[in-house]
Amino acid sequence: MLSGAVLDTSGLDELLPDWKTRGAPVETPVRGDRIYYLTERSRLRSPFTGPLSNHGNYVISLNRFVRWLSEQAEAEGIDIFTGFAGTEVLFEGDRVIGVRTGDRGIDKHGERKGTFEPGVDIKAAVTIFADGVRGNLTKTLISKLHLDGSVPQRYAIGIKELWEIPPDRVSPGSVVHTMGYPLRTEEFGGGFIYGLPEGRLAIGFVVGLDYRDPLFDPHMAFQRFKQHPLVAEMLRGGQMTRYGAKALPEGGWHAIPRCYVDGALIVGDAAGFMNSMRLKGIHLAMKSGICAADAAFDAVRSGDVSASVLATFQRMVNAGSLRRELYRVRNVHQAFGAGLFAGVACAGLAPVTGGWWPRGLLSSEAGHERMARLARYYRTEHPDPDGTSNAVKVDRRVTFDKLTNVHYSGTRHDEDQPVHLLVADTDVCRTRCREEYGNPCVRFCPAHVYEMVDDGTGDGRRLQINASNCVHCKTCDIMDPYQIITWVPPEGGGGPEYEGM
């Protein structure tokens, strides 16, 4: 699990009202809330916190929190099987009947090893898909059953580090959000800094995966953010201890797909229940999970799990706080498509307009479609990647290269397994993509998975996939301009180990 994380406890209050006496690891109330607009060397503090206000919320470790939640579930007699990847949705016609888990013990050539164990079919009256942002199972479901929302889903990538700093530097519960530098007005996103107990600090940066500059590198933007005097002063003398990255669904209410089909429901980030304005989705994942559980329970009891009965889920979502919260910010991310000021105006005026924004000012294409070709963006055929937005001097104290960062994500994959990043046509990478976009995968991947290496022909390059670095953020599946990269789960259990994040 990877998140900021500031928890809005409304979902937890609904699920387990006695969470305090049960000993939930939700202990650090937010004690100060600041928003800054940054320029390269200075900052301007906003007198208002508006929708980003965190009064009543808590700074938590999402990993500790979900571990505690799993203990609560197991105490109720619920079995949780971790370490198994769902690789395939099982259908009977258009009805979902379950999920198939992946085979284990296949070598990198696709041959069975001595440790081979076939996957199993897990069948259920109702399957609830909660495989997170751009979930591989939900993606299949949406595409096969044409469930897309009325606008394409938009995404962002969030990159985060945990730091240990001198304990008196930042008080636990202090929350800082930033806009502006190092992003330009054409890019959506900002930074966050959350004070944790015992001198720990969560620091991260979120960037919309709908930027235009093909040479933009979100990881580099994060490094620049840490070099800003406001942030560098907090990190001085500290040490980075963990690293992670993950995408977020930011398309809002209209991008949410139809979440009920015969035999299945979709919840959480998989469906897009995320408030991009507040950078919060944990409580919405919990609330949508509660609605799904209630709808599934009633359907199973009535003996009818068809879509028309499971549609109760949508009615509950519409009638409750999920719609109330998400509808009034429904256009915010798309409004940022016209620039920072349009986006801020749309968000700032939402209390008056109820979230309405002129349709003509909303960008409605998928994020990857907004990326411009090199020649168009730079008005030259061969711009220098190091001379543009990307050059940052890595000092390994405050700023890090991707490989060093990956080391701190605890990522582990068995090397002898099939590559789990499928590129449909690598010829596109060495020819069209190299020329048209300068191979943006090497920059948008925050884990140095993609590399263009010498192909031995002199001037030529070929794609090398360092799959064992993959932190499962899904950015490549989302942002590739040709949409030829597909993320599939590696052997169950492989991936980042976000202890304490």
Ligand X SMILES: Cc1cc2nc3c(=O)[nH]c(=O)nc-3n(C[C@H](O)[C@H](O)[C@H](O)COP(=O)(O)OP(=O)(O)OC[C@H]3O[C@@H](n4cnc5c(N)ncnc54)[C@H](O)[C@@H]3O)c2cc1C
Residue numbers at the binding site for ligand X (CB under 6 A): 1-6, 85-86, 130-133, 135-137, 158, 160, 204, 246, 248, 268-270, 274, 279-283, 285, 489
In terms of CB distance, is 137 or 234 closer to ligand X?
Answer: 137
In angstroms, the Cα distances linking 113 to 203, 412, 416, 492 are 42, 19, 10, 15
105 neighbors 446 (Cβ within 8 angstroms): no
- Residue 407 forms beta bridges with which residues? none
CA neighbor of 176 nearest in space, from 156, 201, 209: 201
Q: In the complex with ligand X, which residue's Cβ is closer, 238 or 249?
A: 249
For ligand X, which is the closer residue by CB, 343 or 446? 446
Give the strand pairing for 174-180 and 155-164.
unpaired
CB nearer ligand X, residue 1 or residue 344: 1
Answer yes or no: are the C-beta atoms of 99 and 127 closer than 8 Å: yes
As given in the structure block, the two tokens for residue 373 are 């070709």
Residue 272 or 438: which CB sits closer to ligand X? Answer: 272
Q: Assess contact for 473 and 206: CB atoms under 8 A.
A: no
Closest CB 441 distance from ligand X, rounded Å: 19
Q: Min. distance of Cβ 120 from ligand X in angstroms?
A: 13
Least spacing, CB of residue 383 vs ligand X, in Å: 29
Cis peptide before 5 (omega within 30 of 0): yes
Q: Residue 496: what are its φ and ψ, rounded to 5°?
A: -75, 155
Q: Which is nearer to ligand X, 242 or 377 (CB)?
A: 242
Structure tokens at 28: 């650090």
Give the shortest CB-341-to-ligand X separation in angstroms.
24
Q: Cβ closer to ligand X: 160 or 228?
A: 160
For residue 427, the minimal CB distance to ligand X (Å) is 29
Quote the least distance from Cβ 462 to ligand X, whole Å: 29
Instruction: Please tell me what DSSP assigns to residue 23.
Output: T
Least distance from ligand X to the Cβ atom of residue 30, Å: 10
In this complex, which beta carbon is closest to ligand X, that of residue 245 or of residue 347? Answer: 245
- What's the closest the beta carbon of residue 269 comes to ligand X, in angstroms? 4
Q: Quick one: 251 or 438, whose CB is closer to ligand X?
A: 251
CB of 130 to ligand X, least distance (A): 5
Is residue 375 a contact partner of residue 438, using CB atoms and an 8 Å limit?
A: no
Given the complex with ligand X, which of 85 and 445 has the nearer CB atom? 85
CB of 58 to ligand X, least distance (A): 10
Question: Does residue 157 contact residue 247 with C-beta atoms inside 8 Å?
Answer: yes
Report the 10 Å Cβ neighbour count for 379.
Answer: 8
What is the nearest approach in angstroms of ligand X to the Cβ of residue 430? 30
Nearest-approach distance from CB 476 to ligand X, in angstroms: 15
- Using CA atoms, how far residue 163 sits from 193, 224, 398, 399, 497, in Å, is 10, 16, 10, 12, 16
- Rounded Cα distance, 434 and 437, in Å: 6
Contact 88, 255 (CB under 8 A): no
In the bound state with ligand X, the residue whose beta carbon lies nearer, of 86 and 195, is 86
User: DSSP character for 348?
Assistant: H
- Between the CA of residue 52 and those of 226, 231, 279, 280, what are the distances in Å? 21, 19, 8, 10
- Most distant pair of Cα atoms in the chain: their distance: 68
Residue 365's Cα: distance from chain center in Å? 19
Q: Which residue is nearest to ligand X (CB)?
A: 281
Residues 398, 483: Cα–Cα separation, whole Å: 34
Torsion of CA 108, 109, 115, 120, to 10 degrees: 90
Q: 272 in helix, strand or coil?
A: coil
| Pick 67 or 376: Cβ nearer ligand X | 67
